[in-house]
Structure 1
Amino acid sequence: MLQTWSQDILREPQPKRRKIQLACNKCRNRKTRCDGHRPACIACLERGLAAECSYEHNTHPSQRYTGRGTVIPSHSGASNTAELLSSPTQSTHCTNDFNRVDGLATVAFPREDENLYGESSTIAFVRHVMHEQPPPEHQQYKSPAPEPIRDRDESLAVYPRRQTADDYVSSFWEFVHPVFPILHKASFMSRYKEVWSSEPYKGQHNTDQADEVAFSATLNLTFALGCQFSSLVAANKRVVVADEFYQRSRRIFIYDILDTSSMPVLQMLLLTGVYLQSTRYAERCWNTVGLAIRAAQTLGLHSESPTRRLERQLTREIRRRVWHVCVTLDRLLAMTFGRPAMITRSWDIPIPLLIDDEFLQIDGDGHQPSNIPSRMGLFVYSSKLYDILDKILITFYVEPETSKPISTDDSLQKLLSNVLTFNRQLDGFHNSAPEYLRLPAKVAHSGIHMNSNIQLQAQILNCRFLYTRVILLRPLLLLSA
C-alpha cells in the first residue's frame, strides 16, 4: 500500500481539459466532445466530415462586468455605453451601491468637481460622450452613513474632562499647528465647543455620520499631539497617554469612510501622519501620508483653476495649506526613508499667504497686521526651503551621478559645481527670510510684538535649514571618506 501511495505521488498530474468557448454544430448535435479547432475540429476530421464542420456564431453579444454591477456589451460603441448608463431598464444595481466608481475608474456618475478625474481617464471620456447629462435620480447614489460612534463603542465617544481637554487643544494650537497648519482654528473650535453642549451641532458643516466620525477621530488626534506638550502630563507618561488617544482614533476611523473623499477625512489622515512621525510606526506613517496624498489629488488640491482662485479667501487658503502640508510631509519622509517622493513637480499651487487664521475672511480679503508676525511664517518659509531640498534629493540621491565611482576630474568638477549652486540657493533663502525667523531672532523695528511661539519657529526653521545643508554636503563628505 505504501508503494502504491508513493507511486501515485510521483505520477505526473493529468493535465486539465481545455475548455472551449464554442463547439461545432456537428459535435453539439451528437453531444460529443469538440476541441473547437478551426476550420474543422479533430472529431469531424476523423469521421470524414471536415467539409460539414461549421460553427454557429453566437447571436448574443458577449458581456463584460465593470466590477460594480453595471453590464456593458463589449462590442457596443460609446453611444451605446452612454445610453446604457442613463437607461434605468438596462442597468443592474449592485449590492454595494454606494460605490459610484468601479475599481478601474471606468464608470462613475457625474460629480461637480471637475478636477476629480483628469482628461486621460475613461470617466472623462464617458462624460464627454454623455455631454454631462445627469443620471436619473434613482442612480444618484450616496455613500451610506458610517455607523454612529456611540452605537459601535460607547467608550469611543468619551473624552477627557473639559479642563484637561482644553489644555491639550491649546497646546496643539501653540506647538503643532504653526508647524503643520492642517486645520482652521475658528472652524475647529466652533465644532469643539459643540462637543460639550447638549444641543445638536448647528454649524456650517454637514451633520451626517461620516462628518461625525472624521471629526471625532481628528479630535482624538489633536489630544494625542497636544498632550505631548502639556504640563498636565508627566514627561515619562506622555508617550503612553498620546498612544491611547491615537489608538482610540484608529478604532473610530473605519476604512469605509475612504469611499467618500472629503476635506475632513484628508485632514484626519494628515494629522495621523504627523503624529506617527514621532512614534515607532514608521512604515505606517509612510503609508498613511501616501493615502492622504491620494485623497488630496482626488479632491483636486493639486490643481488650481482660474475659478478656484476666485473662491473665498478662507476656502482658497485652507486648500493651499493642506496641499502644501502634503508636499512637506512627502519630502520629509522621502528624505528620511531614502525613497522617491510621491508628488512630482506637475503641480503649480501658490504657497499660502502669511496670514493667521483669525484674519482670514469668508467674504472679502483679510490682511495680517503689520505689527504682528504671522504664525504661518515657519510653514511658508519651510515650504520654500523644501523646494530646494527636493532638487537636492533628486540630484544627489534619487538620480545620483555620484552612484558611479568618480574617477575623472570632470565628474568631480560637476559634483562640486552642483554643490556650490545649491549652496548659493540656500544662502539666498536664508537672506530672504524675515528677521524674526532668523537666529538670533531680530525685529526690524520695536513695533513688532515678539513671543515665545515666534522664537520657537525661528529655532525650528534654523534646524531645518542646517539639516538641508548637511544633506547637500554629505556627498562631498562621503567622497573624501
Structure 2
Amino acid sequence: MGATTLTLDRQEDEFFGQSSVHSLLREVPHPDRRSRRSTAPPRNWDRSSATSLLAAEFALPPRQVADKFLDLYFDNVHIFYPWTHSTWFKKRYESLWTPGGYSGAETGQTGDIGLGGDQCPETTFFCALNAMFALGCELSDLPEKESASAMFSSRMRGLLQLDVLDKGDLSHVQALLLAGDYAHSSEHPIRCYNTVGLACRIAVGLGLHTDKHADQRTAMENEVRRRVWYGCLHLEMAVCMTLGRPPVLQVTEGVCVPAAVDDEFICPDNTSCRQPEGIVSQNLFVVENIRLAKILGKILSSIYWPSSSSDFSALVRLDGLLEDFKGSLVSDLRWWDVDKTKHQGARGHILRRQTNVLHARFLHLRVLLYRPSFSSFCAAARRPRQRRGAGSGLDEAGIDASTLQDVFQAQCATTCVQVAHELSASLRAAWEVEATGAWWFRFFYLMTCGGIIILAECAQAGGSTHFNQQQLDATWENTTVLLRDIGRENARARGYLDHLVLLKDQARSAHFSMRNSVVPSRASSPRSPVRSVGESRDGPAAQATDGQTEAVDFMASLFHDNWDWSLDGGMPTYGGLGFGDEFIFPLPGGLA
C-alpha cells in the first residue's frame, strides 16, 4: 500500500492528500493536464458476451410495471434524495426499450455525471435501476411486493462489482447510495452500514469531499458531485445515529451546497445553472436537509461521542443551532405557515411532503439532543422505587430535584417528552392529509416516540410527577394509530407494535404492583390476594411482580444506554422480550 506507484496522467478527480507520494510527484513540472483530459476518448465498455447480458440481473419487468416502479421511485425517493440527474437517467432508461439497447457515448454531454452519463458502465446502471425498482416496489400497493422487492434486491447485489474495491467511479457511489437507501427498509443493518461506508470511502477517493478543480468542470458535473457527496454525509450520519456508532465522515465546509435548481434547468456545457423566477425548486429541500445533517453530526460528536454527555453549555449551543435553522428556513418549507393555498398542483403537494418530512427531522433532532438527559432522569427515578421495593422506607419525594443539575436534568426530560409528543402529532397530521415520506422513516420516529413513552411511564412508576399524563396518552395514541396503519402492509411493524404494547402494559403493571406493595391499603379489598398460611413472599405473585419489574427495567436500560452498542453486534438483540435483530431496522434518515 505504501509503495503504490501511480502514473502521472491519472484524472484530477482522484483525491490524494498532501502526505501521499502522489502529491509529491505532482510537484514535478509536466505538460498541462487540462487539454489531455478534455480530449480523452470515450470509455469502451466490456460487453463481454451476449450470454452475460442475458443474465437475470439484466432482465426487465414488463414495460408497464417497470415504468410504474420507476415513477414511484422518482415521486417518493428522488424528491428527497436527488443523487442522480433525473433527466439524463431517464434518457438512458428509455434507450433500454429500443432495438439498440443501452446506448454508448452521446454528443452534447461533457464530464462525468455518473448514472445516466456516457461514462457509466452498463452493469452499474442496471445495478442502480434494480435498486430503484426495489424501492418503488416497497412503495407500491403490489400484493406480493415483499418477494418482488427481494428479487430486485438480489439482482442489485449481484451487479455490485468487486472492481469498486480497486477504484470505483461516481456511478458506483450513486449505486451504493441507492443500495444503502433500500437497506433502510430491510432487516439488514450491518449490510446497510457497510454499504454506506463503502460509498463514503470511494467518494473520498474520488475527491468528492472537496471542490478542487471545480472550475474545470461543467455546472452539471459539479452539481451532481455535490449532491452525491452530501448524500454520503447524510446517510453516514443517519446510519451511525441509528446504530450508535461513531461517524467516519466529519462535517466540513469544503464543498459548496448544491444549488436549489431542478434537473431540467441544469444543462451540459453551462458554466452556471439558475432556477427560473416564479418556479419553486423541489431541490430547496436538499439544501435545508444538508443543514440538518450537519447539525446531526455536531449532536453526535458533542453529545454521544466519545461518551454520552448532558453538558449544559453543549445542549444550549446545539439547541441554539436548531433554533437558528428554524428561524432562517426558506419560506416555502416553513411548517408553521398556515397558508395552505400558497402552492397548488403536483409541485405544491411535493413541497407539502418535503415540509412535513423536514419538520419531523427537526423534531427528531431535538429529541435526540435531550435524550441522554431524559434517560439519566428516568434512571434516577427508578432507583428510589427499587430502594422502596427493598423496604428502605423512602417516600416519593426522594426523586425531587434538589440541585441545579437536577433541575436542569428534569427540565431536559420534560422537554424531550414534549418534543416527542410534537413529533408524533406532526407525523399523524401529515398522514391524515397523505403528505408523508417513506414509511420506514416514519417507522423509526414512531418507535422512538413509543420508547420514550414507555420509559416515561417507568419514571412515573418511580414516583416522578414531571410528565403530563394526558400528553403521554396522546403521544401513545398517535404512535399506535400510525404503527397500526404501517402494519397493514408490513409484518415487522405489526410485530413492533405488539411488543410496544406488551412493554407498556408491563410498565403499568409494575407501577401498580409496586405502589400496592409500598403503600398499604386502608381497608381490605375482596380483590386483594390473601396469602396462605406459610406462603412466602417469594410466591407466584411476587415472582410475577419481579418479572414485570425486570422487564421494565430492561427496556429502560436500553434507552438509558442511548442505543450505544458494541461494534460487533450492531443493534441490540431483544432476546429476552422476543425481539431479534431483524426487528430493529429500518432506520430514518432521515432521514424522508
Normalised by the size of structure 2, how large is the TM-score?
0.56
Q: CA deviation at 1:478?
A: 2.1
Contact in 2 for aligned 1:146/1:213 (Cα 8 Å): no
Structure 1 pair 461–255 and aligned structure 2 pair: CA distance change class (3 A): same
Q: Distance in 2 between matches of 1:256 and 1:165?
A: 28
Amino acid at match of 1:174: D
Q: Distance in 2 between matches of 1:338 and 1:189?
A: 37
Q: Distance in 1 between matches of 2:200 and 2:274?
A: 30
Deviates more, 1:321-330 or 1:142-151: 142-151
Q: State the match for 1:222 in structure 2.
A: 132
Amino acid at match of 1:360: I
2:298 to 373, 391, 406: 391
Q: State the match for 1:324 in structure 2.
A: 230
Contact in 2 for aligned 1:184/1:318 (Cα 8 Å): yes
Contact in 2 for aligned 1:224/1:242 (Cα 8 Å): yes
- More RCO (CA 8 Å, sep 6+): 2
Q: Distance in 2 between matches of 1:268 and 1:295?
A: 12
Q: State the match for 1:289 in structure 2.
A: 196
1:436 to 322, 332, 337: 332
Residue 334 (structure 1) aligned with residue 267 (structure 2): no
Q: State the match for 2:90 in structure 1.
A: 189
Q: CA deviation at 1:340?
A: 1.0
Structure 1 pair 461–468 and aligned structure 2 pair: CA distance change class (3 A): same
Q: CA deviation at 1:443?
A: 5.5
Q: CA deviation at 1:161?
A: 0.7
2:122 to 203, 212, 230: 212
Q: Distance in 2 between matches of 1:285 and 1:270?
A: 9
Q: CA deviation at 1:256?
A: 2.5
Q: Distance in 2 between matches of 1:121 and 1:372?
A: 46
Amino acid at match of 1:325: G
Contact in 2 for aligned 1:266/1:296 (Cα 8 Å): yes
Q: CA deviation at 1:155?
A: 2.2
Contact in 2 for aligned 1:149/1:252 (Cα 8 Å): no
Residue 119 (structure 1) aligned with residue 18 (structure 2): yes
Q: Distance in 2 between matches of 1:133 and 1:359?
A: 32
Structure 1 pair 147–253 and aligned structure 2 pair: CA distance change class (3 A): farther
Q: CA deviation at 1:315?
A: 0.8
Structure 1 pair 148–352 and aligned structure 2 pair: CA distance change class (3 A): farther
Contact in 2 for aligned 1:146/1:256 (Cα 8 Å): no
Structure 1 pair 320–340 and aligned structure 2 pair: CA distance change class (3 A): same
1:308 to 199, 204, 214: 214
Q: CA deviation at 1:259?
A: 2.8
Residue 373 (structure 1) aligned with residue 373 (structure 2): no
Contact in 2 for aligned 1:441/1:455 (Cα 8 Å): no
Q: Could you say what secondary structure the match of 2:121 adopts?
A: helix
Deviations 1:198-237 (A, max 9, x none): 12515537778x7111111111111111122234x13xx3
Pairwise mapping of residues 77-476 of structure 1 onto structure 2 (< 5 A)?
103-104=1-2, 106-110=4-8, 111-113=10-12, 115-128=14-27, 145=46, 147-148=48-49, 150-151=51-52, 154-200=55-101, 201-204=103-106, 211-231=121-141, 233-234=142-143, 237-305=144-212, 307-309=213-215, 311-346=217-252, 348-362=254-268, 363-400=270-307, 402=309, 415-439=311-335, 442=338, 446=342, 450-476=347-373
Deviations 1:220-259 (A, max 9, x none): 111111122234x13xx32221111010111223213443
Contact in 1 for aligned 2:227/2:258 (Cα 8 Å): yes
Structure 1 pair 170–440 and aligned structure 2 pair: CA distance change class (3 A): farther
Q: Distance in 1 between matches of 2:185 and 2:117?
A: 32
Contact in 2 for aligned 1:220/1:246 (Cα 8 Å): yes
Amino acid at match of 2:124: A
Structure 1 pair 267–255 and aligned structure 2 pair: CA distance change class (3 A): same
Q: Distance in 2 between matches of 1:206 and 1:322?
A: 14
Q: Distance in 1 between matches of 2:197 and 2:50?
A: 26
Structure 1 pair 460–310 and aligned structure 2 pair: CA distance change class (3 A): same
Q: Distance in 1 between matches of 2:356 and 2:49?
A: 43
Q: CA deviation at 1:365?
A: 2.9
Q: Could you say what secondary structure the match of 1:451 adopts?
A: helix
Q: Distance in 2 between matches of 1:143 and 1:283?
A: 35
Q: Distance in 1 between matches of 2:86 and 2:316?
A: 41
Contact in 2 for aligned 1:436/1:443 (Cα 8 Å): no
Structure 1 pair 183–105 and aligned structure 2 pair: CA distance change class (3 A): farther
Contact in 2 for aligned 1:156/1:248 (Cα 8 Å): yes
Gaps of 5+ in 2: 34-42, 107-115, 379-592
Q: CA deviation at 1:374?
A: 1.6
Q: Could you say what secondary structure the match of 2:222 adopts?
A: helix
Contact in 2 for aligned 1:224/1:246 (Cα 8 Å): yes
Q: CA deviation at 1:147?
A: 4.1
Q: CA deviation at 1:128?
A: 4.2
Structure 1 pair 418–471 and aligned structure 2 pair: CA distance change class (3 A): same
Contact in 1 for aligned 2:167/2:202 (Cα 8 Å): no
Q: State the match for 2:422 in structure 1.
A: none
Contact in 2 for aligned 1:172/1:223 (Cα 8 Å): yes
The structure whose residues are more often helix, as a share, is: 2
Structure 1 pair 228–149 and aligned structure 2 pair: CA distance change class (3 A): farther
Structure 1 pair 444–459 and aligned structure 2 pair: CA distance change class (3 A): closer
Q: Distance in 2 between matches of 1:390 and 1:216?
A: 33
Amino acid at match of 1:196: W
Q: State the match for 1:74 in structure 2.
A: none
How many matched pairs? 356
Amino acid at match of 2:20: S
Q: State the match for 1:35 in structure 2.
A: none
Deviates more, 1:114-123 or 1:171-180: 114-123
Q: Distance in 2 between matches of 1:206 and 1:182?
A: 13
